[in-house]
Structure 1
Amino acid sequence: MKLATKYQGEQEIDEKHVINFKNGIPGFQDETEFALLPFLNELPYFILQSTQTPELAFVVVDPYPFFPEYQYELPAAMIESLKIESHENVATFVILTLKEPFSASTANLKGPVVINVKEKEGKQLILNESTYETKHPLFQADPKGDF
């Protein structure tokens, strides 16, 4: 299928790779299908691109290379709704807020995007009871002021 994207023009993607977000993403409840695309083929950055609205795309990243201690607990209802049978089928991403310079960019650790990669089901989890921030610095500053 052809997909118009915000950052990478028109892309050809396999419909089997479309991820279903039954209830949308908070603030975008009508957007229920997204494709996870590599961002300029440079891991660990990806684009979570709406298949319905070309202008709607989130830059996301696997949080663990940046925040090795990051953890959250999936509620039983979410495990059931995403049809999760094994933790090996779960991928976690956090949405980035890109800033200039890029080193000032932040990550939303309070709202991880959880995807069952086997079933192609996704949902954004809101961690209301956590100390994580919605704008956590993605990069730690060098004590000498260099980056």
Structure 2
Amino acid sequence: MILQTKFHGEIELAEKEIYVFESGIPGFLEEKQFCLLTLDDTPFFVLQSTEKKQIAFIVTNPFDVFRDYEVKLTDEVLSSLNIETELEVITFVILTIQDPFNETTANLQAPIIINSSKKTGKQFIMNASEYRTKHRLFEPPVEQGGK
């Protein structure tokens, strides 16, 4: 299929590259199908709607940035995504890109969970956690002492 994308222009996409989000993504409940596209030579990806060109989220693997990050999937999530083994699970977090880029934040409270073998996904909102929707991706520079 030919797909119009927000960041990559027109691309060709195979059906096997589509992830189904049965419940959509909060705020975009009508969007049920997405693909994952690499973003050049960066640790970032684009979660691109297959229906609407302008609906595309910049995402990253949270474990590469936040070493102590933990996601405990509920039985409901495991069941709804048909997850049978930990090896099937891919976790991403949605970024809010800022200008300047070092002000960019990650939504650690609501990771994107994907079952790589079944090609299903959902945003898992962890309401009872210490995580917030805006965690700084980069540590602010340490102020140097006075003169």
For Structure 1 versus Structure 2, the TM-score category normalised by the shorter chain is: over 0.9
1:1-147, aligned counterparts within 5 Å? Answer: 1-39=1-39, 41-144=40-143
1:52 alignment partner, SS class: coil
Question: C-alpha separation between the residues in 2 aligned to 1:18 and 1:112?
Answer: 19
Deviation, structure 1 residue 42? 2.0
Question: C-alpha separation between the residues in 2 aligned to 1:38 and 1:13?
Answer: 13
Displacement over 4 Å in runs of 4+: none
CA deviations on 1:19-55 (whole Å, 9 max, x unpaired) are 000010011111000000001x223100000001011
- Provide TM-score, normalisation by structure 2: 0.95
Question: C-alpha separation between the residues in 2 aligned to 1:132 and 1:110?
Answer: 5
1:55 counterpart letter in structure 2? Q
1:15 counterpart letter in structure 2? E
Deviation, structure 1 residue 69? 0.5
- Provide TM-score, normalisation by structure 1: 0.95
Question: C-alpha separation between the residues in 1 aligned to 2:101 and 2:52?
Answer: 26
CA deviations on 1:106-135 (whole Å, 9 max, x unpaired) are 000001000000100000000100111101
2:101 counterpart letter in structure 1? F
Q: Where does structure 1 lack aligned partners over 5 or more consecutive residues?
A: none
Q: Where does structure 2 lack aligned partners over 5 or more consecutive residues?
A: none
1:98 counterpart letter in structure 2? I
1:67 counterpart letter in structure 2? F
2:122 alignment partner, SS class: strand
Question: C-alpha separation between the residues in 1 aligned to 2:105 and 2:11?
Answer: 27
What is the identity percentage for the equivalent residue pairs of Structure 1 and Structure 2? 45
* RMSD (CA atoms): 1.0
For the pair shown, the structure with the greater C-alpha radius of gyration is: 2
Question: C-alpha separation between the residues in 2 aligned to 1:119 and 1:44?
Answer: 24
* Aligned residues between the structures: 144
Question: C-alpha separation between the residues in 1 aligned to 2:64 and 2:141?
Answer: 17
2:116 counterpart letter in structure 1? V
